[in-house]
Structures are given as C-alpha cells and as structure tokens.
Amino acid sequence: MQPCHHSSLDHELDAAAQWCLSRGEKLTDQRREVLALLLAASGSMKAYDLLAEIQKQKPTAAPPTVYRALDFLVSAGLAHKLDSTNSFVACRDFEHPHHGLMLICNRCHSVKELTDERIEARLLEDAAVHGFQVATQDIEVRGLCQRCSLAEHAEAA
C-alpha cells in the first residue's frame, strides 16, 4: 500500500509544480521538499518541525531556507498559515483560489479544510459594505474532530 501513497504524493507534487509553472514560478527542490512534508502530515506543522525533518537528510539546512519555502508556498496558494498555532498546512485545492475555512482539532491538532462558496461570498459582501477589500483570509475554527469528540465522550462515560 505504501507505493500508492507515494504515487499519490508524487501526483500532488507534480500538479503543484505545474501550477507554479502556469504562474511563471518554479517549485524548487527545497519548496517541493517542504510541500511534500506538509502534504504527508496528518495535521499542521510548525516551521521548526519541518526544519527538523529536513535536517534528517540535510544536516546543514538552516531556518531561513524553510521560512523562504513556506513564504513561497503560502503566496502561491499551495499552503495556508494557521495564525492561531503559528503552523502551516498544505492546500489541496490550490488551483481554485479561495479563502480557507480551517477546522482545527484542539486535541489531536488535525486540520480539515472546507471550501464553502456561500461563506466566502458572504464574507466578501460584508467586507465590501465596509469598503474593505479582502486580499486573503483563512478562517480558523477550533474544536474537536469527530474522532476526538467520540474519544472524549468514551472517557467521560
């Protein structure tokens, strides 16, 4: 089963590389490596966790390299920065620019991204009423995922 995961990851990385080319940009090896770690993660990752993973293969890797890669991935729409946890998560719907609605589990730290055109449209309409032009916005909703909610109820019983 592992090869399927890798081929899926390779497919996502190839699609990201094509997305970058369509924008006149390049998914460099460093950017690709950081994106691969984000895509493989079950939740969000902090920059220094990413650095620690990269240093397993490249001991001389430095923080600025990871931060530059993250800045690029966020600006290209390939990742989202979660301000509440100062961490990053891959965006799997990068070909459709959007405002992410992130459901973040307080217990296991998993992240589920929802795309809801109605919420996005309402946000843009409400902002426009106030003369505000939205550039980017990820909405972070914190709580418990289904698995952790069930586990918490089981523990309480």
Q: Known binder of ligand: residue 33?
A: no
**20 is an annotated ligand-binding site residue:** no
105 assigned binding-site residue: yes
* 145 annotated ligand binder: yes
By residue count, the chain amounts to: 157
Nearest-CA neighbor of 16 among 33, 3, 41?
A: 33
Tell me the three state secondary structure of residue 17: helix
What is the Cα–Cα distance from 45 to 38, expressed in whole angstroms? Answer: 7
Which residue, among 98, 150, 91, has the nearest Cα to 124 in the 3D structure? 98
- Rounded to 10 degrees, the C-alpha dihedral 100/106/111/117 comes to -30
Q: In what order do the strands lie in the sheet with 139-143?
A: 111-114, 101-105, 139-143
- 96 is known to lie in a ligand binding site: yes
Does 108 appear as a known binding residue? yes
Sequence ranges of the binding site for Fe cation: 96, 120
Sequence ranges of the binding site: 96, 105, 108, 120, 145, 148
Sequence ranges of the binding site for Zn(2+): 105, 108, 145, 148
